[in-house]
Amino acid sequence: MLGAQDWPGKLPNETGCLRCIRHTEPIQYPSISSMSSPTTPTLAIVGPGRVGRALGRRWMEAGVGVGFVGRSGSSAVDAADFTGGRILAREDLAGARVVVLTVQDDGLRRVAEELAGIAKSGVWLHCSGAHDLAVLEPLTRSGASIGSLHPVCPVPEAHIGYRNLDGSPGVIQVRTGDAETAEVLRSLALSAGLIPVVVEGGDRLLYHTACVLAASGLTALVAVVDELLKQAMPGHSADELGSALMGGALTLCREHGALAALSGPVPRGDTELVRRQMAALDGLDPEAAEIFRALMRRATTMVECRGTLSDEVLVEMRGVLEGHA
Protein backbone atom coordinates (compact mmCIF):
# COMPACT_ATOMS: atom_id res chain seq x y z
CA MET A 1 0.00 0.00 0.00
CA LEU A 2 1.26 3.49 -0.78
CA GLY A 3 2.07 5.43 2.31
CA ALA A 4 1.66 9.13 2.90
CA GLN A 5 5.43 9.54 2.75
CA ASP A 6 5.42 8.51 -0.92
CA TRP A 7 3.42 11.53 -2.07
CA PRO A 8 3.64 15.26 -1.32
CA GLY A 9 1.15 17.16 0.79
CA LYS A 10 -1.64 16.24 3.17
CA LEU A 11 -5.39 16.13 2.76
CA PRO A 12 -7.19 18.64 4.98
CA ASN A 13 -9.13 17.16 7.87
CA GLU A 14 -12.40 19.03 7.23
CA THR A 15 -15.36 17.06 5.95
CA GLY A 16 -17.87 17.87 3.24
CA CYS A 17 -19.56 16.43 0.19
CA LEU A 18 -17.58 18.60 -2.20
CA ARG A 19 -14.44 20.56 -1.70
CA CYS A 20 -11.88 22.10 -4.00
CA ILE A 21 -8.29 22.28 -2.79
CA ARG A 22 -6.11 24.93 -4.43
CA HIS A 23 -2.39 25.21 -3.79
CA THR A 24 -0.20 28.26 -4.27
CA GLU A 25 3.01 26.93 -2.75
CA PRO A 26 5.40 24.93 -4.98
CA ILE A 27 4.89 21.18 -4.74
CA GLN A 28 7.89 18.85 -4.62
CA TYR A 29 6.99 15.77 -6.63
CA PRO A 30 8.54 12.34 -6.15
CA SER A 31 11.30 11.35 -8.54
CA ILE A 32 11.50 8.17 -10.60
CA SER A 33 14.63 7.13 -8.76
CA SER A 34 12.97 7.40 -5.37
CA MET A 35 9.64 5.84 -6.31
CA SER A 36 10.31 3.31 -9.07
CA SER A 37 12.02 -0.03 -8.80
CA PRO A 38 14.52 -1.07 -11.49
CA THR A 39 11.93 -3.41 -13.01
CA THR A 40 8.52 -1.83 -12.41
CA PRO A 41 7.44 1.82 -12.69
CA THR A 42 5.51 3.36 -9.83
CA LEU A 43 2.41 3.90 -11.94
CA ALA A 44 0.90 1.67 -14.63
CA ILE A 45 -1.77 2.79 -17.09
CA VAL A 46 -4.10 0.15 -18.55
CA GLY A 47 -5.78 1.26 -21.77
CA PRO A 48 -3.34 3.80 -23.21
CA GLY A 49 -5.81 5.92 -25.18
CA ARG A 50 -6.19 9.68 -25.29
CA VAL A 51 -6.78 10.22 -21.55
CA GLY A 52 -4.13 7.70 -20.50
CA ARG A 53 -1.51 9.27 -22.75
CA ALA A 54 -2.31 12.82 -21.67
CA LEU A 55 -2.11 11.94 -17.97
CA GLY A 56 0.91 9.69 -18.48
CA ARG A 57 2.91 12.48 -20.06
CA ARG A 58 2.04 14.87 -17.23
CA TRP A 59 3.05 12.33 -14.61
CA MET A 60 6.29 11.51 -16.39
CA GLU A 61 7.16 15.21 -16.47
CA ALA A 62 6.42 15.38 -12.72
CA GLY A 63 9.00 12.65 -12.12
CA VAL A 64 6.66 9.67 -11.65
CA GLY A 65 7.75 6.49 -13.44
CA VAL A 66 4.96 5.43 -15.84
CA GLY A 67 4.39 2.26 -17.84
CA PHE A 68 1.61 1.18 -20.20
CA VAL A 69 -0.37 -2.01 -20.73
CA GLY A 70 -2.52 -2.25 -23.85
CA ARG A 71 -4.54 -4.95 -25.55
CA SER A 72 -2.51 -4.28 -28.69
CA GLY A 73 1.23 -3.86 -28.62
CA SER A 74 1.04 -0.88 -30.95
CA SER A 75 -1.13 1.17 -28.56
CA ALA A 76 1.37 0.72 -25.72
CA VAL A 77 4.26 1.55 -28.05
CA ASP A 78 2.53 4.74 -29.22
CA ALA A 79 1.79 5.73 -25.63
CA ALA A 80 5.39 5.12 -24.57
CA ASP A 81 6.63 7.21 -27.50
CA PHE A 82 4.26 10.06 -26.62
CA THR A 83 5.07 10.12 -22.91
CA GLY A 84 8.58 8.78 -22.59
CA GLY A 85 7.20 5.95 -20.44
CA ARG A 86 7.72 2.21 -20.67
CA ILE A 87 5.85 -0.77 -22.10
CA LEU A 88 4.67 -3.28 -19.50
CA ALA A 89 3.34 -6.81 -19.55
CA ARG A 90 0.08 -7.55 -17.78
CA GLU A 91 1.87 -9.42 -14.99
CA ASP A 92 3.89 -6.27 -14.20
CA LEU A 93 0.74 -4.70 -12.77
CA ALA A 94 1.19 -6.74 -9.59
CA GLY A 95 4.29 -4.72 -8.72
CA ALA A 96 2.97 -1.24 -9.54
CA ARG A 97 2.11 1.03 -6.64
CA VAL A 98 -0.68 2.72 -8.60
CA VAL A 99 -2.69 1.25 -11.50
CA VAL A 100 -4.85 3.62 -13.55
CA LEU A 101 -7.60 2.14 -15.74
CA THR A 102 -8.32 4.44 -18.67
CA VAL A 103 -10.31 1.96 -20.74
CA GLN A 104 -13.68 2.83 -22.30
CA ASP A 105 -16.60 3.16 -19.90
CA ASP A 106 -18.47 0.14 -21.21
CA GLY A 107 -15.44 -2.11 -20.73
CA LEU A 108 -14.39 -0.94 -17.29
CA ARG A 109 -16.20 -3.58 -15.22
CA ARG A 110 -14.97 -6.40 -17.46
CA VAL A 111 -11.35 -5.22 -17.19
CA ALA A 112 -11.65 -4.91 -13.40
CA GLU A 113 -12.90 -8.49 -13.18
CA GLU A 114 -10.11 -9.75 -15.47
CA LEU A 115 -7.44 -8.07 -13.34
CA ALA A 116 -8.91 -8.93 -9.93
CA GLY A 117 -6.42 -11.75 -9.38
CA ILE A 118 -3.47 -9.41 -9.94
CA ALA A 119 -4.69 -6.57 -7.71
CA LYS A 120 -3.17 -7.77 -4.43
CA SER A 121 -1.95 -4.35 -3.22
CA GLY A 122 -1.55 -0.74 -4.20
CA VAL A 123 -4.08 1.82 -5.37
CA TRP A 124 -6.24 0.99 -8.40
CA LEU A 125 -8.33 3.75 -9.90
CA HIS A 126 -10.37 4.61 -12.95
CA CYS A 127 -10.74 7.93 -14.79
CA SER A 128 -14.38 7.54 -15.86
CA GLY A 129 -16.87 10.26 -15.13
CA ALA A 130 -19.83 7.92 -15.64
CA HIS A 131 -18.91 5.27 -13.02
CA ASP A 132 -18.66 5.34 -9.26
CA LEU A 133 -16.44 2.95 -7.31
CA ALA A 134 -18.79 -0.06 -7.52
CA VAL A 135 -17.32 -0.94 -10.90
CA LEU A 136 -13.93 -1.55 -9.22
CA GLU A 137 -15.20 -3.71 -6.35
CA PRO A 138 -13.72 -6.95 -7.84
CA LEU A 139 -10.24 -5.44 -7.31
CA THR A 140 -10.73 -5.16 -3.55
CA ARG A 141 -11.07 -8.93 -2.98
CA SER A 142 -7.32 -9.43 -2.82
CA GLY A 143 -6.50 -6.31 -0.84
CA ALA A 144 -6.20 -3.45 -3.35
CA SER A 145 -7.47 0.04 -2.55
CA ILE A 146 -9.72 1.72 -5.10
CA GLY A 147 -10.62 5.24 -6.18
CA SER A 148 -11.37 7.41 -9.18
CA LEU A 149 -9.87 10.53 -10.69
CA HIS A 150 -11.92 12.18 -13.45
CA PRO A 151 -10.20 15.04 -15.33
CA VAL A 152 -12.92 17.59 -16.10
CA CYS A 153 -11.64 18.87 -19.43
CA PRO A 154 -12.06 18.04 -23.12
CA VAL A 155 -9.62 15.42 -24.46
CA PRO A 156 -10.36 15.08 -28.20
CA GLU A 157 -6.73 14.06 -28.78
CA ALA A 158 -3.91 13.18 -26.39
CA HIS A 159 -1.81 16.25 -27.17
CA ILE A 160 -4.81 18.56 -26.72
CA GLY A 161 -5.83 16.84 -23.48
CA TYR A 162 -2.25 17.15 -22.24
CA ARG A 163 -2.53 20.95 -22.56
CA ASN A 164 -6.08 21.12 -21.19
CA LEU A 165 -5.24 19.26 -17.98
CA ASP A 166 -3.36 22.23 -16.56
CA GLY A 167 -5.67 24.11 -14.18
CA SER A 168 -8.73 21.93 -14.86
CA PRO A 169 -10.66 20.25 -12.01
CA GLY A 170 -9.84 16.66 -11.16
CA VAL A 171 -12.82 15.01 -9.44
CA ILE A 172 -11.67 12.48 -6.85
CA GLN A 173 -13.72 9.75 -5.19
CA VAL A 174 -12.57 7.14 -2.65
CA ARG A 175 -14.28 4.80 -0.22
CA THR A 176 -15.62 6.47 2.88
CA GLY A 177 -12.87 6.89 5.47
CA ASP A 178 -9.99 5.95 3.14
CA ALA A 179 -7.90 9.08 3.77
CA GLU A 180 -4.68 7.41 2.63
CA THR A 181 -6.00 6.65 -0.86
CA ALA A 182 -7.55 10.11 -1.05
CA GLU A 183 -4.15 11.59 -0.33
CA VAL A 184 -2.54 9.54 -3.10
CA LEU A 185 -5.19 10.61 -5.62
CA ARG A 186 -4.93 14.22 -4.55
CA SER A 187 -1.19 14.12 -5.19
CA LEU A 188 -1.71 12.42 -8.54
CA ALA A 189 -4.14 15.17 -9.52
CA LEU A 190 -1.72 17.90 -8.51
CA SER A 191 1.18 16.28 -10.35
CA ALA A 192 -0.95 16.20 -13.52
CA GLY A 193 -1.70 19.91 -13.18
CA LEU A 194 -5.29 19.32 -12.04
CA ILE A 195 -7.11 21.09 -9.18
CA PRO A 196 -8.31 18.34 -6.80
CA VAL A 197 -12.06 18.26 -6.07
CA VAL A 198 -12.93 15.54 -3.54
CA VAL A 199 -16.54 14.29 -3.70
CA GLU A 200 -18.56 11.88 -1.60
CA GLY A 201 -21.68 10.14 -2.87
CA GLY A 202 -23.96 11.79 -5.40
CA ASP A 203 -25.44 10.61 -8.70
CA ARG A 204 -22.48 9.75 -10.91
CA LEU A 205 -24.51 9.20 -14.08
CA LEU A 206 -26.25 12.55 -13.70
CA TYR A 207 -22.89 14.19 -13.01
CA HIS A 208 -21.43 12.78 -16.21
CA THR A 209 -24.52 13.70 -18.20
CA ALA A 210 -24.01 17.31 -17.11
CA CYS A 211 -20.35 17.09 -18.12
CA VAL A 212 -21.34 15.76 -21.56
CA LEU A 213 -23.72 18.69 -22.05
CA ALA A 214 -21.04 21.14 -20.93
CA ALA A 215 -18.43 19.82 -23.37
CA SER A 216 -19.98 17.81 -26.22
CA GLY A 217 -23.24 19.75 -26.09
CA LEU A 218 -21.49 23.11 -26.26
CA THR A 219 -19.22 21.88 -29.04
CA ALA A 220 -22.22 20.71 -31.08
CA LEU A 221 -23.93 24.06 -30.49
CA VAL A 222 -20.83 25.88 -31.75
CA ALA A 223 -21.01 23.82 -34.95
CA VAL A 224 -24.68 24.74 -35.43
CA VAL A 225 -24.03 28.44 -34.81
CA ASP A 226 -21.04 28.51 -37.17
CA GLU A 227 -23.03 26.84 -39.96
CA LEU A 228 -25.96 29.25 -39.59
CA LEU A 229 -23.61 32.24 -39.64
CA LYS A 230 -21.92 30.96 -42.80
CA GLN A 231 -25.29 30.67 -44.51
CA ALA A 232 -26.38 34.08 -43.22
CA MET A 233 -23.18 35.84 -44.34
CA PRO A 234 -21.93 34.10 -47.51
CA GLY A 235 -18.57 35.32 -48.69
CA HIS A 236 -17.68 36.79 -45.30
CA SER A 237 -15.68 35.31 -42.43
CA ALA A 238 -18.02 34.78 -39.50
CA ASP A 239 -15.82 32.35 -37.56
CA GLU A 240 -15.19 34.71 -34.66
CA LEU A 241 -18.75 36.01 -34.23
CA GLY A 242 -20.24 32.94 -32.57
CA SER A 243 -17.15 32.37 -30.44
CA ALA A 244 -17.21 35.98 -29.24
CA LEU A 245 -20.87 35.78 -28.25
CA MET A 246 -20.55 32.40 -26.54
CA GLY A 247 -17.36 33.42 -24.76
CA GLY A 248 -19.03 36.59 -23.50
CA ALA A 249 -22.09 34.67 -22.35
CA LEU A 250 -19.97 32.15 -20.44
CA THR A 251 -18.05 34.97 -18.74
CA LEU A 252 -21.30 36.57 -17.62
CA CYS A 253 -22.57 33.21 -16.34
CA ARG A 254 -19.41 32.77 -14.26
CA GLU A 255 -19.59 36.30 -12.89
CA HIS A 256 -23.34 36.67 -12.30
CA GLY A 257 -24.98 33.26 -12.71
CA ALA A 258 -26.99 31.99 -15.66
CA LEU A 259 -30.29 33.54 -14.56
CA ALA A 260 -28.89 37.07 -14.46
CA ALA A 261 -26.74 36.57 -17.60
CA LEU A 262 -29.64 35.60 -19.87
CA SER A 263 -30.31 38.08 -22.69
CA GLY A 264 -31.97 38.16 -26.12
CA PRO A 265 -35.53 38.15 -27.49
CA VAL A 266 -36.98 35.69 -24.95
CA PRO A 267 -36.23 37.72 -21.79
CA ARG A 268 -37.36 40.84 -23.69
CA GLY A 269 -40.65 39.13 -24.45
CA ASP A 270 -40.26 39.67 -28.21
CA THR A 271 -42.61 36.89 -29.31
CA GLU A 272 -42.93 38.20 -32.88
CA LEU A 273 -39.17 38.00 -33.49
CA VAL A 274 -38.99 34.49 -32.01
CA ARG A 275 -41.90 33.47 -34.28
CA ARG A 276 -40.03 34.74 -37.36
CA GLN A 277 -36.80 33.02 -36.28
CA MET A 278 -38.60 29.72 -35.77
CA ALA A 279 -40.21 29.95 -39.21
CA ALA A 280 -36.84 30.67 -40.85
CA LEU A 281 -35.14 27.74 -39.14
CA ASP A 282 -37.99 25.32 -39.85
CA GLY A 283 -37.54 25.96 -43.55
CA LEU A 284 -33.75 26.02 -43.57
CA ASP A 285 -32.55 23.45 -41.03
CA PRO A 286 -35.19 21.49 -39.06
CA GLU A 287 -32.56 19.99 -36.74
CA ALA A 288 -31.23 23.44 -35.85
CA ALA A 289 -34.84 24.53 -35.34
CA GLU A 290 -35.35 21.79 -32.75
CA ILE A 291 -32.19 22.84 -30.92
CA PHE A 292 -33.31 26.47 -30.96
CA ARG A 293 -36.78 25.50 -29.77
CA ALA A 294 -35.45 23.36 -26.86
CA LEU A 295 -33.02 26.03 -25.67
CA MET A 296 -35.55 28.84 -25.91
CA ARG A 297 -38.04 26.74 -23.92
CA ARG A 298 -35.48 26.56 -21.11
CA ALA A 299 -34.79 30.30 -21.52
CA THR A 300 -38.53 30.94 -21.09
CA THR A 301 -38.53 28.93 -17.87
CA MET A 302 -35.55 30.96 -16.63
CA VAL A 303 -37.36 34.21 -17.42
CA GLU A 304 -40.37 32.93 -15.49
CA CYS A 305 -38.07 32.39 -12.49
CA ARG A 306 -36.81 35.96 -12.84
CA GLY A 307 -40.37 37.26 -12.75
CA THR A 308 -39.71 39.97 -15.34
CA LEU A 309 -42.44 39.10 -17.87
CA SER A 310 -46.19 38.83 -17.42
CA ASP A 311 -47.97 35.50 -17.43
CA GLU A 312 -49.68 36.48 -20.70
CA VAL A 313 -46.35 37.05 -22.49
CA LEU A 314 -44.91 33.79 -21.13
CA VAL A 315 -47.94 31.84 -22.36
CA GLU A 316 -47.64 33.46 -25.78
CA MET A 317 -43.88 32.72 -25.93
CA ARG A 318 -44.44 29.06 -25.11
CA GLY A 319 -47.15 28.89 -27.74
CA VAL A 320 -44.77 30.28 -30.37
CA LEU A 321 -42.10 27.74 -29.45
CA GLU A 322 -44.61 24.89 -29.60
CA GLY A 323 -45.93 26.08 -32.95
CA HIS A 324 -49.39 26.94 -31.57
CA ALA A 325 -49.24 30.70 -31.97
Q: What is the mean pLDDT of the chain?
A: 88
Per-residue pLDDT, 118: 93
Per-residue pLDDT, 279: 96
- Same-domain status, 260 and 308: yes
Question: Is residue 13's pLDDT more than 60?
Answer: no
- Same-domain status, 160 and 296: no
- Same-domain status, 187 and 293: no
Supply the CATH number for residue 246's domain.
1.10.1040
- Same-domain status, 31 and 118: yes
**Is the distance from CB of 49 to CB of 102 less than 8 angstroms?**
yes
Number of structural domains the chain divides into? 2
Expressed as residue numbers, the domain containing 38 is 4-201
- Same-domain status, 30 and 171: yes
- Same-domain status, 26 and 103: yes
When pLDDT is cut at 50, 70 and 90, the band that residue 325 belongs to is low
State which H helix or E strand residue 291 sits in. Answer: helix 286-306
What's the distance, CA 179 to chain centroid? 23
- Same-domain status, 163 and 55: yes
DSSP β-bridge partners for residue 18: 199
Q: How many CA atoms lie within 13 A of 325 on its CB side?
A: 16
pLDDT digit string, tens, across residues 56-72:
999 999 999 999 999 88
Per-residue pLDDT, 5: 38
Q: Which of 201, 236, 256 is the last residue of a domain?
A: 201
Q: Report d(CA 250, CA 80) in Å as an integer.
A: 37
Supply the CATH number for residue 140's domain.
3.40.50.720
- Same-domain status, 64 and 171: yes
- Same-domain status, 27 and 79: yes
Q: Report d(CA 213, CA 219) in Å as an integer.
A: 9
- Same-domain status, 192 and 211: no
